Amino acid sequence: MFKLEARPQPSRLMSCASPLIALAITVLIGVCLFIWLGKDPVKGLEIFFVEPLKNAQAISELAVKAVPLLLIALGLAVCVRANVWNIGAEGQYLLGAVAASWVAMQAGPGTGRWIVVAILLAGVIGGAIWSGIVAFLKDRFNANEILVSLMLVYVGQQLLDFLVYGPWKDPDGYNFPQTITFLSVTKIPRLMVGYRANIGVIIAIVAVAALWVFLFRTYRGFQLQVGGMAPAAARYAGFSSRSALWIGLLISGGMAGLAGALEVAGPMGQLTPYLSVGYGFAAIIVAFVGRLHPVGIVFSSLLMSLFYIGGELAQSRLGLPKAMTSVFQGLLLFTLLGCDTLILNRLRWIGVGKPKHSEEA
Amino acid sequence: MESWALQAAATLNAGTVLALAGLGLLINERAGIVNLGAEGIMLMAAFAGFATGVHTGSDLMGFLAGGAMGAVLAATLGYLVIWLNANQYATGLALSLFGSGFSAFAGIKYTQEKLGPRPHFEIPGLSKIPFLGTALFKQHPMVYLAIALAVVIAWFLYRSRSGLVLRAIGENPESAHALGYPVRRIRLAAVVTGGALCGLAGAYLSVIYTPLWVEGMVSGKGWIALALTTFATWRPGRILLGAYLFGGVTMLQFHLQGQGVQIPSQFLTMLPYLATIAVLVLISRNPAWIRANMPASLGKAFFPEG
Amino acid sequence: MTELRLELNGISKQYPAVKANDGVNLRVTPGQIHAVLGENGAGKSTLMKIIYGAVRPDEGEIRWNGKPVKIRNPHEARALGISMVFQHFSLFDTLTAAENVWLGLDRSIPLARVIQRIREVAEEFGLDVDPLRPVHTLSVGERQRVEIVRALLAKPQLLILDEPTSVLTPQAVEKLFITLNQLSQQGCSILYISHKLNEIRTLCHHCTVLRGGKVTGEVDPTQETNASLSRLMIGAEPPELKHREAHLGEVALAVKGLKLPKQDPYGTSLSGISLEVRAGEILGIAGVSGNGQNELMAALSGEDRRSPEGSIELFGQDISHDGPDPRRKRGLHFVPEERLGRGAVPMLSLAQNTLLTRHESVSRTGWIHKSEVLKLAESLIQRFNVAAPGPHAPAKSLSGGNLQKFIVGREVDAAPRVLILSQPTWGVDVGAAATIRAELLELRDAGCALLVVSEELDELFEISDRLVVIAQGQMSPSIPAHETTVEQIGEWMSGLWPREAAHVQA
């Protein structure tokens, strides 16, 4: 029988090992799932972990999906570290895309390449406005940010639907709910000809570095995290909880909006109602699996991207529902939270049959 | 006149889903646990209830399956947050994400299925009363059960000793532990009960209210139910009131659409979500009032020593 | 030899970091008032929790009325006849006194009967309790009476009281002792946990002394002196403090008729608080906790910025709306009561914790110079003798005393012109407490103005030049410490200071 007891100090080793153990457990459950569904588990694992890495084209596709996850998760990590629970990144992502689309649709024959900058900026602003509403309502009226940010996801989706079914519908689009295809001048520049991966990759890498510096080298970043860890200590020190709220939400909203702009002016090239594929929610998992650390999030976003591509492949190759991706994502976060217990606690063997001490009667 | 009666009946019906889930979450939160997994639990239970209904042909079995699914999922959440001390918010989110993914995954076979002919209920005698009969007395028994449940929970919380213990634990688990109450087990019991009620709400949604299975069909009702607990300042009667209020808002959108009001349908669909935000803003404006009503240990971890 | 009520043999309890109890033996006879003496961290509380079933020992035997027993939880303890009054009360604020008592009773008796029994017991022992009032409306003393009534309602044969007097006025302590003696005469044994030597010598029949989890002595306290008890408790004579003549300077901090409505529904409103602290003196604020100390501290530190314009002045300048940081820039530093979570962030390292109040290592652009942060933390650890593995150690890994030395050191090292401290030695071992007090006196001699809030009257008398008392959000006039007595301050703590003198500037 094992007993769970507090460690004198948090374990650094477990802090890094826990996501790996969680991944192993998730894969194990995945194998069982494949067997249960009558599919070859080796083939299943291959589709999820080998196929998406087999050549340059595949890796480019991996990056296409990892970039939005990475950007959104970085912002969410800042938020969670400030103990602000923004779970509506999906809505901020959509609004970023909407704002970016509006700019993209203004392009005409004489527009220069500078418009890409304006599109990205619009994305940031769109996302930040959506999360700014959350910050405002929390700051001014103390309204719970978890619920408000989530409600705004639904509102954002309806707003998007309204635009593409209504005023922004392509007049020559055979009545499909979508905007015009954006002019090629608005297209986010690609890294290499023939591959869909674009400069979003570079933006994401810069963002990782910038947020690392912000969190661990600047006083502002320090203040924000103290507010998250110990609100009373932040008040004592004189760090403003309001500014932590606003900074956290504006950064995460802006990053989500940027991801939306990159997506809509990148691989999509037009605004459709099917923009939302759950990146905003998956990014919550990415942030936690990446230990809320910018470098950790790089790895976890790549992992989550594998899940996305694996899910698509499993659909086309094995005829499994695409939702398998979200099953794995949810499982991963679940097992991770369980394994994280071992960071602050350790298991101690207390012999067979002895009653558990830590138990109340 | 008759159309208003039908409107009232539909409001009660729509409010029942929120009432059941809201009452369940109220029990959770009275014990000090926030369950952000409500949305996922309701989706899983909606799927389980519908699938069971399809296979057994029995609505009752469907409800049982939904409730059991809710209880099992909530127990998982409870184990993680109560014994392993995992963050309540993160764990609840994990459950919501997992629930929406798994229900979509497993439910794909059921999107084309239909349940047998839907039963029709009316209370003999009372249902013949003009207006009121149509408005109030032709409902599914679950509608009345939800009301009865609110009464029972109110009695339990404020009149019974066990309810006093539950409130005491939600307020100060350390003291309750010092007095020798098995804080963690009671919290788990509350979480499981609350989960079962959320599950029942999900099953009612897919078996009676809609009645069909669509991916993501709970569409935020779990989150709205969470907002209801704040709106109700953690009181059962007000949960009921809030649930019908939101049921009314949901019905209003269909009503307006039916009346051919010139508002794009998307804006009508937004209504319940905007209403939730509005309600949260109104109710939370006074932090002192919230603090005086909120179970003091809500969302905080409790880890007994020794 | 009379039969023993309670006998502990070789009780041990190991926690991950410390051995809280190490082979402890304890013998309590019926009707005996038995003191368990030891300083903070000596293992008293763990031992009591073991007797009460809240913690289980790793080794050892418990005999109750001669028979070996296993006490697995507080229910079983109460069934045997063991009741406990907790140091930090185990009461529920939103419930009434009667409901609180009801929760502590095992047999299912109706609430109406509980209310009646409360009235009977309150009558018998002269414990004034209104069963129908919600606990959050009660004073600390009243709350303790609720706890005691709850314990007595179970008709205990052994009553455990954990540091019961730390929250009482001296007069209330006398009343408590009358009740306890009455109980003892009826045959109820009492385990009295304390670190206050005077109380133990007046009240108790027998005394077991703990140090570092082990029994270091069993004595008759009436035959001992404070010094001899202290030697048993800390293994040495209590260190003497050096007092020098005060050299008063200008008025450093002045509070003028500060009125502040409470923010928290369970808090206290401040009504017209006035005081002055001069450079080179220590002003002590006495009072029963919960009388507005926290609210006053928040207003003075800048954590609460709602103070009316002109009500708080620092060297003649209005600071009432300034936050903590601007106040620190003007030389006002503050050490809060809660070490973990307020004075320091538990999960962060000592080095990072310096950044809460010290900005020397932060550049104008907001860049943190890591090496300088480490250097500062290292110098604090050395200068103030903090037992810590190094500047990277997380705050929560330190013992209470060492963390407090670090926090006080962090503020002292900033060379403040005004230093405000709340409970500077609360829960701190005697050695660390002496270091901290000496440090404060040195700061005073260097011309700093100090304001100290403490529940420990002994401490206030030891270090203060002048004393004021806070009661129900009001403040008494000040009185030089050598002109007053514990009795007088005790009376004032109930709000009974001469009102006609109240207009005199404190």
Query: Does residue C137 sit at the B interface (CB-CB below 8 Å)?
Result: no
B300 occurs within a structural domain: no
Domain boundaries, chain C: 6-234, 251-503
Two domains, one topology: C6-234 and C251-503 = yes
Percent of the residues in chain B that have a pLDDT greater than 90, as a whole number: 70
Q: What is the largest CA-CA distance in chain A?
A: 81
Do the Cβ atoms of C446 and C466 come closer than 8 Å? no
Chain C contact set for B175 (CB, 8 A): 86, 89-92
Tell me the C-alpha distance between A91 and A107, whole Å. 25
pLDDT digits (tens, 9 = 90+) for C462-501: 999 999 999 999 999 999 999 999 989 999 998 889 876 5
Tell me the C-alpha distance between C26 and C59, whole Å. 14
| In CATH, A58-305 is 1.25.40 | no
- Categorize the per-residue pLDDT at A358 as very low, low, confident or very high, splitting at 50, 70 and 90: very low
Each residue of C124-143: b (16+ CB within 10 Å) or e?
ebebebbbeeebbebbbbbb
Chain C contact set for A9 (CB, 8 A): 394, 397
Retrieve residue C279's tokens. 């450079």
| CATH tag, C6-234 | 3.40.50.300
Chain A contact set for B220 (CB, 8 A): 150-151, 154
pLDDT for B117: 83
Chain A contact set for C356 (CB, 8 A): 226, 233, 236-237
Give me the residue from A6, A235, A237 closest to C16, CB to CB.
A6
pLDDT for A74: 98
Tell me the C-alpha distance between C90 and C147, whole Å. 8
Q: Verify whether the Cβ–Cβ distance B180 to C93 is below 8 Å.
A: no
Interface residue of B84, B231, B274 to substitute, partner A, most A CBs within 10 Å: B84
B89: nearest Cα among A288, C225, A128, C428: A288
pLDDT for B1: 65
Tell me the C-alpha distance between A226 and C325, whole Å. 15
Chain B contact set for A326 (CB, 8 A): 97-98, 100-102, 104-105
Chain C: list its partners (3+ Cβ pairs within 8 Å).
A, B
B142: nearest Cα among B229, B5, B18, B227: B18
pLDDT digits (tens, 9 = 90+) for C310-325: 999 999 999 999 999 9
Mean pLDDT of C372-378: 96
Interface residue of A146, A159, A324 to substitute, partner B, most B CBs within 10 Å: A146
Beta strands at C189-194 and C158-162: parallel, antiparallel or unpaired: parallel
Give me the residue from A217, A229, A236 closest to C343, CB to CB.
A236
pLDDT digits (tens, 9 = 90+) for C153-167: 988 999 999 888 877
pLDDT of C17 strictly over 80: no
Give me the residue from A148, A288, A330 closest to B280, CB to CB.
A148
pLDDT of B76 strictly over 70: yes
Do the Cβ atoms of C85 and C144 come closer than 8 Å? yes
Query: Does residue A360 sit at the C interface (CB-CB below 8 Å)?
Result: yes
How distant is the alpha carbon of residue C443 from its chain centre?
Answer: 23
Residues 6+ apart with CB under 8 A from C88: none
Question: If you count residue pairs, one on A and one on C, with CB atoms under 8 Å apart, how many are there?
Answer: 74
Q: Verify whether the Cβ–Cβ distance C74 to B288 is below 8 Å.
A: no
pTM for this predicted structure:
0.91
Structural domain boundaries, residue B157:
2-293
Give the mean pLDDT of chain A: 91
pLDDT for A1: 59
| In CATH, C251-503 is 3.40.50.300 | yes
B302 occurs within a structural domain: no
- The helix-helix angle for C400-412 and C430-445 (nearest 10°) equals 10
Phi and psi based region of residue C65 (left: phi greater than 0; alpha: psi -120 to 50; beta: remaining): left
Q: Verify whether the Cβ–Cβ distance A233 to C302 is below 8 Å.
A: no
Chain A, nearest residue to B84 by Cα: A341
Q: Verify whether the Cβ–Cβ distance B97 to A281 is below 8 Å.
A: yes
B67 occurs within a structural domain: yes
Which is higher by pLDDT, A344 or B161?
B161
Interface residue of A36, A84, A141 to substitute, partner B, most B CBs within 10 Å: A141
Chain B: list its partners (3+ Cβ pairs within 8 Å).
A, C
- Categorize the per-residue pLDDT at C506 as very low, low, confident or very high, splitting at 50, 70 and 90: very low
Range from A211-220, C11-20, C189-198, C276-285 carrying the lowest mean pLDDT: C11-20
Mean pLDDT of C81-86: 91
Q: Verify whether the Cβ–Cβ distance C95 to B167 is below 8 Å.
A: yes
Mean pLDDT of A85-110: 96
pLDDT for B7: 85
pLDDT digits (tens, 9 = 90+) for C391-428: 999 998 888 889 999 999 999 999 999 999 999 998 78
Chain B contact set for A86 (CB, 8 A): none
Q: Verify whether the Cβ–Cβ distance B284 to A162 is below 8 Å.
A: no
| Domain CATH for B45 | 1.10.3470
- Categorize the per-residue pLDDT at B162 as very low, low, confident or very high, splitting at 50, 70 and 90: very high
Tell me the C-alpha distance between C17 and C12, whole Å. 14
pLDDT for B232: 93
pLDDT for A13: 83
Q: Verify whether the Cβ–Cβ distance B165 to C103 is below 8 Å.
A: yes
Query: Does residue C87 sit at the B interface (CB-CB below 8 Å)?
Result: no
pLDDT of A36 strictly over 50: yes
Chain A, nearest residue to B225 by Cα: A147
pLDDT digits (tens, 9 = 90+) for A307-316: 999 999 998 9
pLDDT of A354 strictly over 70: no
- Categorize the per-residue pLDDT at C243 as very low, low, confident or very high, splitting at 50, 70 and 90: confident
Range from A28-32, C73-77, C330-334, C396-400 carrying the lowest mean pLDDT: C396-400
CB atoms within 10 A of CB C85: 22
Chain A contact set for C72 (CB, 8 A): 361
Tell me the C-alpha distance between C411 and C19, whole Å. 32
Beta strands at C206-211 and C6-14: parallel, antiparallel or unpaired: unpaired
pLDDT of B259 strictly over 80: no
Chain C, nearest residue to A223 by Cα: C356
- Categorize the per-residue pLDDT at C297 as very low, low, confident or very high, splitting at 50, 70 and 90: very high
Q: Verify whether the Cβ–Cβ distance B36 to A284 is below 8 Å.
A: no
pLDDT for C458: 87
Cα–Cα distance list, C417 to C437, C439, C448 (Å): 17, 14, 5
Q: How far is A359 from chain C (nearest CA, A)?
A: 10
Which is higher by pLDDT, C228 or A150?
A150
Retrieve residue C169's tokens. 């006025």
Q: How far is B264 from chain A (nearest CA, A)?
A: 7
Domain boundaries, chain A: 1-39+320-361, 58-305
Percent of the residues in chain C that have a pLDDT greater than 90, as a whole number: 65
